[in-house]
Structure 1
Amino acid sequence: MESSPHVSIRKATPDDAKTLVDLIVELATYENLLDEAEPSVELLEEHLSAEALTGCEALLAETERDTAVGFALFFHNYSTFQTNAGLYVEDLFVRSTYRGEGIGLALFRRLAEIAEKRGCRRIDWAVLDWNTEAIEFYDELGAEPLDDWTTMRLDEEAIEEIATAGAAA
């Protein structure tokens, strides 16, 4: 467990699913995406288990004053160009009353330690264009924006449609 005078970072377990869901709802509210958020304690418990195929992992930031004040949820990705694994940070969130206290930095330090220990050559993530506070924080970390890439997504309905069309062929 990583510690500083006011924060500790630890790996989340399936038992932390309810706490993580509460933080995810706060994140969705902050990002004005609450209408899209449908986090499930049961699914997160399953996905955080060591046997899960999702490869989903999470870190919890905790203080002595409060229990959980932030989290990072991540998984491995793979670079074909580097033929090497990396980490993809799906979400990193610190409760608003704790921002500016080094908690986000502590979470990123732990992510970097994990990446280094596992031989990962990069850490990737996305940030909303309007979130200048986060962009400035990532700039200070030395992160570089990838302006030449567009994030693409297939939703559940499109996945089903494509899979069904493939099965019919």
Structure 2
Amino acid sequence: MSSDSNKPNIAAVIVRDAEPGDIPQVYKLMEELILFLANQDLRLYTEEEFFQFVFGKNPMCLCLVAVLKEDPNFVVGYSTYFTMFNSVDGLSTTLEELYVKSNYRGKGIGTILWKKVTQKALDMGCNSTIFVAHQWNKRALDMYTRHGCENLTEMNGKLLLHFSKKDMEDFVKTSEKA
């Protein structure tokens, strides 16, 4: 690492599947992500719940970590993703989160994480990847569009909708028919 920037070059970073011992560091990065998104109202699951989501009996998501070659136990970034099926694309991957610590940004680590998720998706037979980018995050939007991602909202009016747990509970309790 150069002493002036304290940032690694791409060759100094390894992206690998998360291991159980990585979860505490990934969880701390998730807390940083919530601050980055400037949304204190977001609910962050407990570290144990996240562990179960990734390594439990019925894992719900996959997780990759970016670590430094010189310190392979130091996590500088992560991505979480999962597979799903839809009638248009068949098997698809959803890239749920991609985050790199602020003092390690701008060195291609996010791109390496994204490429690794993409390669894993292709290896699983996925035909597309879906993810969300915030309109204000120009840096991420530029990266995604530079590599060929299409904005479905602009292209065909597809909107991302959210159903909170409370709304879900209220919905299943209603007697109204669709």
TM-score of the superposed pair, with normalisation by structure 2:
0.83
Distance 2:65 2:130 in 1: 19
Residue deviations 1:6-57 (CA, integer Å, cap 9, x gap): 1101111333221111011111111101331323111011111263252x11
Partner of residue 101 from structure 1, selected from 107, 127, 148: 107
Distance 1:50 1:42 in 2: 10
Partner residue, 1:72: 79
Partner of residue 59 from structure 1, selected from 59, 64, 74: 64
Q: Which amino acid aligns with 1:123?
A: T
State how 1:1-169 maps to structure 2 within 5 Å.
5-49=11-55, 51-52=57-58, 54=60, 56-64=61-69, 67-82=74-89, 84-147=90-153, 148-165=157-174
The structural deviation recorded for 1:68 is: 0.8
Moved over 4 A (4+): none
Larger deviation, residues 30-39 vs 122-131: 30-39
Distance 2:110 2:35 in 1: 18
Q: Is the 8 A contact 2:29 2:77 kept in 1?
A: yes
The structural deviation recorded for 1:65 is: 5.6
**Partner secondary structure for residue 35 of structure 1:** coil
**Partner secondary structure for residue 72 of structure 1:** strand
TM-score of the superposed pair, with normalisation by structure 1:
0.88
Unaligned runs of 5+ in 1: none
Corresponding pairs, count: 161
Distance 1:34 1:63, change over 3 A: farther
Cα RMSD after superposing both structures: 1.7
Q: Which amino acid aligns with 1:159?
A: M
Unaligned runs of 5+ in 2: 1-9
Percent identity between the two aligned chains: 24
